[in-house]
Structure 1
Amino acid sequence: MEMNSRTIDGIPMRWHERGEGIPLVLIHGIPTGPRLWRHVLPRLEGARCLAWEMVGYAGSIPAGRGRDISVAKQAEYLVAWMNALGLERAILAGHDLGGGVAQIAAVRHRDRCAGLFLTNAIAYDSWPIPSVKILRATRSAIRHLPDAALKMVMTTLFRRGHDEPAQAREALEAHFPAYLDSDGAAALARQVAALDVRDTEAVAPELSRLNVPARLCWGAADQFQKVRYGERLAHDLSAPLRRIDGAKHFTPEDHPVVVAEEINALVAMAAGSTATA
């Protein structure tokens, strides 16, 4: 994926862009980057799609050194980036941590959110998951792992989060090189150290008052972000939830057709709301 880059408030920020129409910002989670959406993007219609790279992740790992890369701070970086690109309003679509970023940005900057799409996203007190808590507790040792050991950690994570071994291997090939190109395990240690459940808990009471077009789809067999949290989000957002039975965590990679269908439906909803506003 070809990436655009711009320095914003002294921070190098990156994103992939394609298409035309209503702005749609896609936000990845951990331990991925904009390539998470590589199979979804070609299927999206009627939108200017911008897959934003969180500060301190993927190709932006170096930009995260010495900076706050918490989920709440990522929402601030996101809005600053939107300002720099002149994006007055956009649909926010998030997976995993990116879903938390989208929720926080939507609550704290309601006038900037034209719609909200969430898939297997963190929310409420759903995170950090047990395996990440272990990584956090041992991060002083994790940061010194050799590349081979780090690859084993990542391999296990992807195997647990993908439906099939072949999909897990493809994901590892897509996302692991960013860690090798930077400072490896130290980058992962920084990422897990920045996770704080209070970031999503703080905005949870406001979700039911957002009043924006919203849709969700969820891998119902996800052991990282369980479907009951998707059901709670759907209730609070007054939004439809599409269950993908048997699917696990990384829905944009394992089920891009379903994810794209739901995003396209939201784009149509949001475009209609804009036209009648």
Structure 2
Amino acid sequence: MNGHLHEDLLDGEPIRWLEHGEGSPVVLVHGIPTSPRLWRHVMPLVSGRSLALEMAGYGSSIPDGEDRDLSLSAQADRLLRWLDMVGVEAPVLVGHDLGGGVAQIAATRAPGRFSGLVLTNAVCYDSWPIPSVKAMRSAAPALRYLPESLLYPSFVQLIHRGHDDRARALESIGVHWQHYVAHGAARSLMRQVTSLRVEDTIAVADQLPGLGLPARVVWGDADQFQKVEYGRRLAADLGTTLQPIPGGRHFTPEDHPDVIAAAVNELLTPPSTGAAPGRGTAHDR
């Protein structure tokens, strides 16, 4: 495993994160159906101190999701309180999938807490939940007690559809499925999907153009889950230009960690002029 797992209590509730490296801080937030290990190939390439937060109710924290608010709004609130707890100041905030939505909400609530924002194939606006998640949510009462053997093929298909690197997809299945098996796949997934509210990202959409944070938006342009058109809109609102990954699909941190890490490192490394990277630079416009 890349990074060391840390665990602490945040207002009496367990919170976990992976850490790797040292230097300027970078906070990475995963989505569904993954965990901080989504970033396992990105973290060693980042030229700073990477902290990959595990959202409540995901990964090894699945059991802690019982009777807790797992909405993106609540996850963003936890992230901000966790930053206070660990004493991390002005990190570059990085989000993928649901974690990208969490990053947008956290950044709009406290833009002064972050030095930059990197989003990759993130939920945004009304881009989500995707059809397969909507189907799971509507069938949640019936699916909640399905045996793992019936749910596993759908999980495998979802992961393969989201990867353009087959070997990395197979690795990803093993990495992420283990948490669901350990904690009851059907109940865990149902708890996750029934907590999702598209209103959380819609509510902050009009605040994105005024954020004023240095930003990078990197997108697998063949993503079937979060379409590249949403990435272009997000980039325009954040005052930057979309960086497409030709043929890239949804799970870019696993298939294209070098591209994601390079975008993060751009915001960690000031330009040669010595000025901090910012909105309105030639790259951004």
TM-score category (smaller protein): over 0.9
| DSSP 3-state at the match of 1:7 | strand
Percent identity of equivalent pairs: 52
**Equivalent in the alignment of 1:208:** 209
**Equivalent in the alignment of 2:230:** 229
| DSSP 3-state at the match of 1:3 | strand
Which runs of 5 or more structure 1 residues have no equivalent in the other structure? Answer: none
How far does residue 153 in structure 1 lie from its aligned partner after superposition? Answer: 1.7
Q: Give the whole-Å Cα distance in 2 for the aligned partners of 1:261 and 1:153.
A: 33
1:5–1:12 CA contact under 8 A, matched in 2: yes
1:59-89 C-alpha deviation (Å, 9 max, x unpaired):
1101111000011110001111111101232
Q: Give the whole-Å Cα distance in 1 for the aligned partners of 2:143 and 2:270.
A: 45
**Equivalent in the alignment of 1:94:** 95
1:187-233 C-alpha deviation (Å, 9 max, x unpaired):
10000001110000000000000001100110000010000111001
**Equivalent in the alignment of 2:34:** 32
1:155-198 C-alpha deviation (Å, 9 max, x unpaired):
01101111143322111001000011112210100000011100
More deviation in 162-171 or 10-19? 162-171
Which runs of 5 or more structure 2 residues have no equivalent in the other structure? Answer: 278-285
- Report the AA paired with residue 110 of structure 1: P
Q: Check 1:88–1:221 CA distance in 2 against 1; reply closer, same or farther (3 A cut).
A: same
| DSSP 3-state at the match of 1:242 | strand
2:97–2:122 CA contact under 8 A, matched in 1: yes
1:1-277 to 2 correspondences below 5 Å: 1=1, 2-45=4-47, 47-269=48-270, 272-273=275-276
1:12-41 C-alpha deviation (Å, 9 max, x unpaired):
000011111221100000000011011111
More deviation in 153-162 or 164-173? 164-173
The number of equivalent residue pairs is: 273
Q: Give the whole-Å Cα distance in 1 for the aligned partners of 2:173 and 2:87.
A: 34
How far does residue 269 in structure 1 lie from its aligned partner after superposition? Answer: 4.3
How far does residue 272 in structure 1 lie from its aligned partner after superposition? Answer: 4.9
More deviation in 127-136 or 149-158? 149-158
- Report the AA paired with residue 121 of structure 1: A
Q: Give the whole-Å Cα distance in 1 for the aligned partners of 2:176 and 2:275.
A: 36
Q: Give the whole-Å Cα distance in 1 for the aligned partners of 2:45 and 2:25.
A: 15
2:62–2:183 CA contact under 8 A, matched in 1: yes
Q: Check 1:261–1:147 CA distance in 2 against 1; reply closer, same or farther (3 A cut).
A: same
TM-score normalized by the length of structure 2: 0.93
1:213–1:269 CA contact under 8 A, matched in 2: no
1:85-140 C-alpha deviation (Å, 9 max, x unpaired):
01232211000000000000000111112110000000000000111100100011
CA RMSD of aligned residues (A): 1.4
Q: Give the whole-Å Cα distance in 1 for the aligned partners of 2:117 and 2:258.
A: 18
Give the 4+ runs in structure 1 shifted more than 6 A.
none
Q: Give the whole-Å Cα distance in 2 for the aligned partners of 1:162 and 1:244.
A: 12
Q: Give the whole-Å Cα distance in 2 for the aligned partners of 1:266 and 1:143.
A: 42
Q: Give the whole-Å Cα distance in 1 for the aligned partners of 2:187 and 2:38.
A: 22
2:17–2:51 CA contact under 8 A, matched in 1: yes
**Equivalent in the alignment of 2:281:** none
2:7–2:16 CA contact under 8 A, matched in 1: yes
**As a proportion of its length, which structure holds more helix?**
1
1:163–1:254 CA contact under 8 A, matched in 2: yes
How far does residue 10 in structure 1 lie from its aligned partner after superposition? Answer: 1.4
2:148–2:184 CA contact under 8 A, matched in 1: no
TM-score normalized by the length of structure 1: 0.95
